[in-house]
Structure formats: structure tokens, C-alpha cells
């Protein structure tokens, strides 16, 4: 999905209205793909930069309809279900939001509708999640007003990464409830993962990730409170 007619454009520098149009196109394409009864999940994602796997330099996103629900989504859904079951249906991500907003240490930005934060167990340096403050299961239910708020905070966070991290390669992807799943526990969100480190043997062999930057420092860097160079681990 082409994001702009400008070959040199970047979501971090587009105006808010253009980003809103990109998000609206995501939603429209989602609904079109979801209408196919063979499709069980629709993955919306963006690869920016060569290290992130971008196949074209022109700004674009990708949307793929999948005939099965991805394992990652099943794992998230099971984690939310396991948390909710003994807590009278309380959403895990709603609790995370409550705790993170109260602390503020890992919050990068927020507006009236969305929060951008560094997850407590971030897998990658500067991994950032954008979550709706009010519980919502599915991205495709995003209202026009909320789409404007999402466009604003997405541009804000990508702009911070562009300035503070010198336009890093990154992936982002939307995690939403599976297609035609009217009930169940899920809290949709958008994850941004800059490609600043390599996944090596330990990560591939164990499924555990080594992140050399603690999320509190990552949040402080993206907020301009400390410089990235000062937070980088020394070579060993």
C-alpha cells in the first residue's frame, strides 16, 4: 500500500492528515480482506529501511490476509485470557496501562486516546507499543476521531526515533483480534521495533532476547531527557 506520492516521504515527516489517510486505507483494506471467509487473520505491517526488510525505497506498508491465526496472536490471546480468568475479566493490557501511567517511567507520549510506552520486558532497544487507553479488541473498529489521535501519536513517536536514533530501520505491526471473533479477551495495539541490534544464536536457540538498553533509559532518550550515546553499553 503506497503511503505517499513523494518518493522521499517518511511517516515521521508527513502531515497528520496524510497519516490519517494511510490509517483509513489500512481499515478499508482490512474489511475487504476480512470479507473473504477463508481469511482468519489480517496482518498490517510496515518495513522501513533495508535492515528491516523493506523491498522498495518508496514509502509503503503491507497488508496480508492469512488463512490461520498466527502463533504470536494466539500466545497473546492466551496470556490475556489467563490473566482475566481469575480477575473477573480484567484485561491484562488495561492493567499494564494503569500501572505505566501511574509510574510514568516508561511512557514516551500520550494524548487523550492513546499511550506510547516502552514495554517492561522489551525484546529490542526502543521497542515501543501504542495502545488505546479505552479497552478495544479490534483495530478495525477505530473511529474517525480516534484515527486522528492515532495518526498524531504515531507521527510523534516515529519523529522522535527519526531525530534521536538517526532514522533507524524499523518494523511496525498491528496486533488485533482474529477475524470474525466476536467475543474473547484481546486489546489491540501497534508495536514498533527498531532494528538496532541483530538476532543471533542465543535468541534463535532459546526464544529469549538480549536487550542492551533498559526500557526506562529508552523512554528517557525518546523524550530527550538523556542522550542515546550516554546510555549505550560499553563494548566488552
pLDDT at 133: 96
Per-residue pLDDT reduced to its tens digit, 176-185: 999 987 666 8
Which three-class secondary structure string do you get for the chain?
CECCCCCCCCCCCCCHHHHHHHHHHHHHHHHHHHCCCCCCEEEEEEEECHHHCCCCCCCECEEEEECCCCHHHHHHHHHHHHHHHHHCCCCHHHHHHHHHHHHCCCEEEECCCEEEECCCCCCCCCCEEEEECCCCCCHHHCCHHHHHHHHHHHHHHHHHHHHHCCCCCEEEEEECCCCCCCCCCCCCEEEEEECCCCCCHHHHHHCCCCCCCCHHHHHHHHCCCCCHHHHCCCCC
Q: Is 60 a catalytic residue?
A: yes
Question: Over 80: is that where the pLDDT of 231 sits?
Answer: no
Per-residue pLDDT reduced to its tens digit, 66-87: 999 999 999 999 998 898 888 8
pLDDT at 143: 92
Those residues with Cβ within 8 angstroms of residue 52's Cβ, 6 or more apart along the chain or in another chain: 169, 170, 171, 195
Cβ count near 171 (within 10 Å): 19
Those residues with Cβ within 8 angstroms of residue 41's Cβ, 6 or more apart along the chain or in another chain: 65, 66, 68, 69, 70, 73, 178, 179
Catalytic residue chosen out of the listed positions 48, 58, 60, 189: 60
Strand partners, 171: 47, 193
Q: Tell me the pLDDT of the chain averaged across its residues.
A: 92
Strand order in the sheet with 41-48: 62-66, 41-48, 170-175, 189-194, 128-132, 114-117, 107-110
- Residue percentage of the chain with pLDDT more than 70: 95
16-231, CATH topology level: HIT family, subunit A (3.30.428)
| Domain boundaries of the chain, sorted by first residue | 16-231
Q: What is the pTM of this model?
A: 0.93
Identify the CA nearest to 196 among candidates 212, 208, 174: 212
pLDDT at 180: 84
Average pLDDT of the residues in 35-55: 94
Whether 132 and 188 have beta carbons less than 8 Å apart is answered as yes
Q: Band of the pLDDT at 228, cuts 50, 70, 90?
A: confident
pLDDT at 102: 96
Q: Band of the pLDDT at 235, cuts 50, 70, 90?
A: very low
Amino acid at each position: 500500500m503506497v503511503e505517499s506520492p513523494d518518493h522521499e516521504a517518511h511517516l515521521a515527516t508527513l502531515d497528520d492528515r496524510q497519516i490519517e489517510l494511510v490509517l483509513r486505507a489500512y481499515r478499508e483494506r482490512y474489511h475487504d480482506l476480512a470479507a473473504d471467509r477463508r481469511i482468519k487473520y489480517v496482518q498490517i505491517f510496515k518495513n522501513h529501511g533495508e535492515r528491516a526488510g523493506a523491498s522498495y525505497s518508496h514509502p509503503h506498508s503491507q497488508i496480508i490476509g492469512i488463512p490461520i491465526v498466527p502463533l504470536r496472536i494466539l500466545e497473546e490471546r492466551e496470556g490475556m485470557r489467563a490473566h482475566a480468568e481469575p480477575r473477573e475479566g480484567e484485561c491484562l493490557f488495561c492493567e499494564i496501562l494503569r500501572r505505566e501511567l501511574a509510574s510514568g517511567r516508561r511512557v514516551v507520549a500520550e494524548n487523550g486516546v492513546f499511550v506510547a510506552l516502552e514495554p517492561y520486558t522489551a525484546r529490542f532497544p526502543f521497542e515501543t507499543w501504542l495502545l488505546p487507553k479505552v479497552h478495544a479488541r479490534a483495530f478495525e473498529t477505530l473511529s474517525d476521531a480516534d484515527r486522528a489521535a492515532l495518526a498524531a501519536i504515531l507521527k510523534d513517536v516515529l519523529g522522535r526515533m527519526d531525530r534521536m536514533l538517526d532514522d533507524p530501520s524499523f518494523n511496525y505491526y498491528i496486533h488485533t483480534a482474529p477475524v470474525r471473533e466476536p467475543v474473547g479477551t484481546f486489546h489491540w495495539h501497534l508495536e514498533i521495533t527498531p532494528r538496532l541490534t541483530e538476532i543471533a544464536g542465543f535468541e534463535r536457540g532459546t526464544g529469549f532476547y538480549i536487550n542492551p538498553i533498559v526500557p526506562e533509559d529508552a523512554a528517557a532518550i525518546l523524550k530527550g531527557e538523556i542522550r542515546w550515546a550516554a546510555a549505550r553499553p560499553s563494548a566488552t
